Structure 1
Amino acid sequence: MKIATLCGMGFGTSMMLKLFIDEILKAEGIKAEVIPWDLGSFKGQNADLIVAPTDMEQHLRSASGKVVLIKNLVDKEEIKQKVLAAVREFLQGQ
């Protein structure tokens, strides 16, 4: 499973999301590749799951993977609930 974390520019938000998600997946015993990207570099890339701030929704409408939008980027519980639900849904479809 490949998970992309996105931010608008640079890698601050995407790296923070990656670290949170790595921690969550490790605790759940789930293996996945989590890659931080900025929005511009991500275009043309593929991922099974794309985790991004809600303000990026319009840029991700044509994304190939399932998009998970996060409202509060420092709320680990919101990230955990949304990401685990999407990961489990993906794994059930395998």
Structure 2
Amino acid sequence: MKIVTICGAGIGASGILKVNAERALSKLGLEAEVVAADVASVRDIADDAQVILTSAEFVDAIGTTYADVIVIRNHFDQQEITDAVERALG
């Protein structure tokens, strides 16, 4: 399984989402590769992803994908992220 976290530059918000997604996976006892990326490279990096976690402003830029695109409103809300990961992969 693969989760891709997306933000504008690929280092800020996506990095926070990556760490919190890894924590969620650990808590849920699930395994997946988690990759942080910038929105410009999403098509290349997320072509084999099952889940994309991002902010609302990047959803349109992601475009058509087979992955579940999940908007995270609060990147620091571990429960929101855990719930999203569990719904998508659990």
TM-score (norm 2): 0.87
Hey, what does 2:75 align to over in structure 1? 73
Q: CA deviation at 1:60?
A: 2.3
Hey, what does 1:62 align to over in structure 2? 64
1:5-84 equivalences under 5 Å are 5-45=5-45, 46=47, 47-84=49-86
Please list every run of at least 4 consecutive aligned residues from structure 1 whose deviation after the TM superposition is greater than 2 angstroms: none
Question: Residues 60 and 10 from structure 1, CA distance in 2 versus in 1: closer, same or farther, beyond 3 angstroms?
Answer: closer
Maintained 8 Å contact 2:42/2:62: no
C-alpha distance in 1 between matches for 2:62 and 2:23: 25
Find the residue that maps to 2:37 and give its secondary structure.
Answer: strand
How many percent of aligned residue pairs carry the same amino acid? 32
C-alpha distance in 1 between matches for 2:12 and 2:85: 19
Task: Provide structure 2 residue ranges, at least 5 long, that are not aligned to the other structure.
Answer: none
Paired residues in the alignment total: 88
C-alpha distance in 1 between matches for 2:35 and 2:12: 13
Question: Residues 31 and 64 from structure 1, CA distance in 2 versus in 1: closer, same or farther, beyond 3 angstroms?
Answer: same
1:60-84: CA deviation from partner (whole Å, max 9, x where unpaired): 2312311111112222211111121
RMSD in angstroms over aligned alpha carbons?
A: 1.3
Verify: 1:86 aligned to 2:88, yes or no.
yes
Task: Provide structure 1 residue ranges, at least 5 long, that are not aligned to the other structure.
Answer: 89-94
Question: Residues 26 and 12 from structure 1, CA distance in 2 versus in 1: closer, same or farther, beyond 3 angstroms?
Answer: same
Structure label with greater radius of gyration = 1
30-39 or 4-13: which moved more?
4-13
